Amino acid sequence: MSTEDIPEPDRVEGAPHPRRTAALFGQPAAEEAFLTARDAGRLHHAWLIAGPRGVGKATLAWRIARNLLAGAGGPLDMAPDQPVFRRCAALSEPRLFLLRRAWDAKAARLRQIIDVEETRRLKTFLQLSSADGGWRAVIVDAAEEMNTSAANALLKVLEEPPERTAFLLVCHAPARLLPTIRSRCRELRCGPLDAASLAAALDAAGLQTDDATALAELSGGSAGEAMRLAAHGGQPAYEELLALLATLPRLDRPRMIALADSCAGRDAAERYDMMMRLVPLALSRFARAGALGALPVEAARGEGDLIRRLSPGPGPARAWAEAVQRLGERMARARSVNLDPGQVMLDTFLDIETTAQRLASAA
């Protein structure tokens, strides 16, 4: 396999890598917090850039890194034709180190963790001084993917950080980090994107959407997830799923079988994966709306009426929440033992039907 064919663990399929992304959308507070510290001369050596997946954390890390390496001051915007931008995009910038999951050539797949061997490479990088005496940058993406040995090795570096070296830890799940690492970082919090910011991010990535509001709802404000949904027909698939659920408490059999069959077969892996995400999402939206007593913004036409009928209060909300947990565990087991996708989806739909019929009989 050539270098160009090796997948990158820190890149969303169908989207440009964050190191090649110039603009950041929807995170003005996080960016302003960094700029305020930098301009006041209080630039911390380690920054924990935390938040949900796909909301721009890595893009912010690369923007900060390029700004420091260029010694530019001012805003974090940089034209892609600038030398520092080009070197970072090509991973040829000698003052930058990217710590991420490595490619296992023997197993022909990405490693599941960032191991201590990668952090040893970081130590070698840090032993070299910057040629011009300027800043160096280390990006860790994603920080929670470090195993214990790698995390402890990074902790030792953070305890005695080299001068003029910024550590930028991109993290989706800060609770999984060592508390001692978290305590040595200043946090920049990135939140979900609103519909306008999401549409702008998709447009910048070369993707168009007819309904950014619905896509923002389905993706939870994650541009990364929105790109996956847009690339694999997520919105039409969700509408198809809701059309089936609208026949509850007894599902329409031909429609149920057709939807399950569409997830089976060698060429249906992406469809199956999409449905495995959309089913828990739909039920979670039922549960949340019933618990809060407020309907969400519709992610598909007719969703509000369906939620109002199937989850009118706390009792049904609890039942749907339990179904989300139960089906999530079942789906995880199905993936681990490679069960037939069509049968997995049939079993899932029948479980949902059982829940709906139990709620209908108790009403």
Domain boundaries, the chain: 3-189, 232-362
User: Pairing mode, if any, of strands 46-50 and 165-171?
Assistant: parallel
pTM reported for the whole predicted model: 0.87
Q: Amino acid identity, residue 134?
A: G
The per-residue pLDDT for 148 is 95
Q: Residue holding tokens 């997948």?
A: 7
Asked whether 23 and 63 are in contact (CB, 8 A), the reply is no
Please give the average per-residue pLDDT across 20-31, as a whole number: 96
User: Pairing mode, if any, of strands 136-141 and 96-99?
Assistant: parallel
Residue 18, token pair as written in the block? 């964050």
Catalogue the E-assigned strands of 122-226: 136-141, 165-171, 186-189
Q: Residue holding tokens 């600038």?
A: 82
Confidence class for position 193, pLDDT limits 50, 70, 90: very high
The per-residue pLDDT for 131 is 64
CA distance 359 to 323: 12
CATH code at 3-189: 3.40.50.300
- Tens of pLDDT along 135-174? 999 999 999 999 999 999 999 999 999 999 999 999 999 9
Tell me the average pLDDT of the chain. Answer: 93
Asked whether 2 and 105 are in contact (CB, 8 A), the reply is no
CA distance 145 to 237: 31
Asked whether 176 and 144 are in contact (CB, 8 A), the reply is yes
Asked whether 179 and 169 are in contact (CB, 8 A), the reply is no
The per-residue pLDDT for 3 is 56
Confidence class for position 132, pLDDT limits 50, 70, 90: low
CA distance 137 to 61: 10
- pLDDT score of 290 more than 50: yes
Angle at 272 between CA 269 and CA 278, to 5 degrees: 140
CA distance 224 to 227: 5
